[in-house]
Amino acid sequence: MKICDIRLVRVHGHIPRALYATEERQVGALDLFPEYRARTVRPPSAADLQSSDTIDAIYVHVDTDEGLTGIFGPLFEDQAYQIDRRLRPHLLGQDPIAVEHIWDVLARHDRHGRKGYMMMAISAVDIALWDIRGQAAGMPIYRLLGGPTRDAVPAYVSTLGHSLEPEKVRERALHFCALGYKAQKWFFRYGPGDGREGIERNMELVHTLRETVGEHIDLMFDAWLGWDVPFSIEMGRRMAPYHPRWLEEPVQPDRIESYARIRRETGIPIAGGEHEYTRWGFKVLLDADGVDVLQADPDWTGGISEMVKICALASAYDKQVIPHGHSVLPALHIIASQSPAVCPLLEYLVIHNQAKQWFHQETFMPENGLVRLPTKPGLGIEIDPAKVERQEELHW
């Protein structure tokens, strides 16, 4: 079998606003600057929630001369550009089953491509190739990887985009408990630019949640690269009596010594790595004792081939990998193929993971806190023609 074409296809449709409307944003690295800190989200009106909005998504299609096509997405446009302009010549005519060979070629072809959009492009191609492998073998990817290790995978709920008004937080936190989730992640809105008031308002969120859900539900908190070391240490010490399962990405990814210091000085578990790439990036983080939980995202860090290696590396350090949830399926296959000791949980972003699967024939959402395993050969993405109003092939 040979790869005979690579197509980047953008599909367009409409999605009900009620499915993805956001009410609040999280703190971020740019909140250092007042003009960015002032940005607010306008919560949707009742009329907004009755309306629909346009949605589009880019998928890479890897065609073979034997009629099998591997599909993966949604992709960022920058990933699609790299695939179209840079990776295509290294893929045409290659054996799609030889994923290790192709990964090595793609990772070596550009010395500036070790991280960022090029590695994200390599990830997308690798996942599409695993889709072909699975289809050729007639089984889901997790079976080829040695799974399943469970019948269904426990999910934690990520509340990105939900209001942080205490009354709404209470209502939603109880709702997620009632849906069967045993763990919830919430996103801080304030950072060092907000001074002491920011610490107090963040702590109000922590306090409200612990008081609402009690001691039997795990709570995680994400600062999305938006803090500095002093702010993180003060927040971590204040959070410690509330027993968070982890504090996520307090500072920017390359400040590995800062991660280690925050971890040491707060005594609470630290998570990170959704913006880290490849086994080599994670080895540095592990050697520095920077995190307790690795959040590699298969869609970005190097694909399924690389995720398996990151899981093996993490297990040798006795650390857990709880993949970041950019999209559901690649992480689900990985988790279902690994020991629950290494990969105990899937991240499910309530708002974003619905929109990311909007065009898919079969969607994977938690039920009673568990996500069922795919049964179709390959990855499991099939585009639903009923959702696609128009589509075009992208070329640069």
Verify binding: residue 299, Mg ion, rule CB under 5 A: no
Stretch that binds Mg ion, among 80-88, 125-133, 219-227, 284-292 (CB under 5 A): 219-227
Q: For residues 126 and 222, which CB has a smaller minimum distance to Mg ion in the complex?
A: 222
**Closer CB to Mg ion, 301 or 305, in the complex:** 301
- Shortest Cβ 347–Mg ion spacing (Å): 8
- State the minimum distance, in angstroms, from the CB of residue 251 to Mg ion: 13
Q: Which is nearer to Mg ion, 96 or 250 (CB)?
A: 250
State the nearest-atom distance from the C-beta of 246 to Mg ion, in Å: 10
Tell me the closest approach of the beta carbon of residue 142 to Mg ion, in angstroms: 24
Binding to Mg ion by CB under 5 A, coded x per residue (else -) over 220-249, reads --x---------------------------
CB nearer Mg ion, residue 187 or residue 358: 187
Residue 101 is a catalytic residue: no
Q: 322 or 329: whose CB is closer to Mg ion?
A: 322
- Only segment of 25-33, 132-140, 218-226, 285-293 that touches Mg ion (CB under 5 A): 218-226
Token digits for 356? 């990311």
Catalytic residue among 61, 162, 275, 324: 324
- Cα torsion 319, 322, 323, 328 to 10°: value is 150
CB 295 → Mg ion: shortest distance, Å? 7
Show which residues are catalytic: 324
Q: For binding to Mg ion (CB under 5 A), which residues are involved? A: 222
